Amino acid sequence: MCLHVKDNNKRKTAKKDIKVFKHIELGYDDILVTPYMFSKLEFNVLVESKLDIPLDNKIDRGIHTFKTLRECIKNADDWNGIVITAIIPKGSIYYEGLSDLRYKSFTSNAIIYNRKMKYNSSANWDKDVNMLILNQ
């Protein structure tokens, strides 16, 4: 996933916590992972990443999230994914722009994933995923 930014889009520092939405997936051995990088999710801890500077108005490396629940759900539906809430913590560096599919998105250097699941596109996963989230 890439974040596409405009020419004048400058990096920002979060003045307060920013609520965001993250599409995640159920990986091997029923472990919740991030798409593309398949990193195991750690809940309620600060997770940090290197953050690229825009090159040709796009950012590849960083933690990618969605600005709205509706757009995150649309993206998750395409991948039969799961949507959770997360926080870009105050003081984090981030960029705002559009995802590859033109959804309003962020890329940041830090995030805190919440345990609360917002949505799952496969109704039959709900019970199992809630159990996984409670047990991780």
Question: Mean per-residue pLDDT for 44-72?
Answer: 88
The rounded percent of the chain whose pLDDT value lies above 70 is 79
Rounded Cα distance, 92 and 82, in Å: 25
Rounded Cα distance, 117 and 35, in Å: 16
What is the pTM (predicted TM-score) of this model? 0.81
Closest-CA residue to 43 (of 131, 132, 114): 114
Amino acid 112: pLDDT: 96
Amino acid 131: pLDDT: 43
Amino acid 63: pLDDT: 92
Question: What integer best gives the mean pLDDT of the chain?
Answer: 80
Flag whether pLDDT at 128 surpasses 50.
no
Flag whether pLDDT at 19 surpasses 70.
yes
Question: Mean per-residue pLDDT for 86-94?
Answer: 96
Rounded Cα distance, 32 and 53, in Å: 28
Question: Mean per-residue pLDDT for 33-53?
Answer: 86
Reported as a pLDDT band with limits 50, 70 and 90, residue 117 is low
Contact 93, 50 (CB under 8 A): no
